[in-house]
Chains A and B, each alone.
Chain A
Amino acid sequence: MTTTLALTGSPLWYASRAGGTLALVLLTATVVLGIASGGRVVPRRIGRFEIGLLHRNLSLLTLVFLGMHVVTAVLDPFVRLSWAVSVVPFGASYRPLWLGLGTAALDLLLAVLVTSALRHRLGVRSWKAVHWLAYAAWPLALFHSAGTGTDTRLPLQLWLYAACLATVIAAVWWRLAKAGPGHVAGRLTAAVAATAVPVVLTAFLAAGPLQPGWSQRAALTPVVLIGGGR
């Protein structure tokens, strides 16, 4: 079963999976650069502005691949998604919860994009407040990927997710280790999240997508799912 899963489907489906996977990798890189640039550490070999620029450019590239991922997913005849699914979370007929996490992540990223473009008019406080949402978008995207992806059962895909996770978690701990005093609540939240996300993701993968019958269970609504859904 595992070896045959990727062999059917339209070119759009392949494009969508490739686009989603690249978007996740780019989003991971963007988040890591964001974490690295916010701290007090001054890099020695490259300029701080270069990290900032890379962060910005990779974020835009993420959105390009994300656009491709969403458009090809909606156009693909197999799952029959409506265009509304790309912006309104949890309304899809196909894997509503897991797809909805992707939609929610996209909405957050769009909010981050718009406020960043208008940041000089909004002022730092409002811009930053929205920018923090990007931290929420990343785990949402990761759970969306693991929960809805056809390729979640492929070892290579799993290694990729593990690498993305490890990079972000390492960046968070690095930043926490270098952080000064103050912002206790913020640092505590970051530490708890950095501990919880890998644990929850591992448990989720073991109980969900890596068990037989996931495609039936993933199609259910959230309520049935929590109840075990057999």
Chain B
Amino acid sequence: MNPANRAKTLRIDRIACTGQGLCGELLPELIDLDEWGYPIVKDRSVPDHLRAHARRAAAACPLLALHLDADRT
């Protein structure tokens, strides 16, 4: 299957992330922010209807620390 159509999973690079918190602003459905602005992923798997939002959140991360991986299956 085309990787673009596969289910997506959120992954945060904890070393790169500096807690800028943009991802949580753009994808509050899946990402909470702790009191310092660091993300807490509530649900790693991205439902279809949130895919565009997830892509936007990954593109907005200034540290490129938020990744959207295509599932292997």
A interface, CB within 8 angstroms of B = 37-38, 42, 47-49, 52-53, 119-120, 123-124, 127
Contacts and interface: CB of A to CB of B under 8 A. Distances in A.
Contacts of B25: 47-49
Given A42-B37, A124-B16, A48 B64 contact: no
Main secondary structure of the interface of B (DSSP, over half): loop
Contacts of A48: 20-22, 25
Contacts of B62: 37-38, 52
A37 B22 CA distance: 11
Given A52-B62, A119-B64, 6 more contacts: A37-B62, A42-B37, A47-B25, A49-B25, A52-B60, A53-B60
A172 to B, nearest CB: 18
A120 to B, nearest CB: 6
B12 to A, nearest CB: 14
Contacts of A124: 16, 63-64
A46 to B, nearest CB: 10
Interface residues of B, number: 11
Contacts of B22: 47-49, 52
Contact of B60 (A49, A120, A123, A127): A49
Given A42-B37, A47-B25, A49-B26, A120 B20 contact: no
A49 B16 CA distance: 18
A95 B67 CA distance: 48
Closest A-B pairs by Cβ, 7 of them: A49-B22, A47-B25, A124-B64, A49-B25, A49-B60, A48-B22, A49-B26
A34 B22 CA distance: 15
B23 to A, nearest CB: 8
A38 B18 CA distance: 11
Interface in B24-44: 25-26, 37
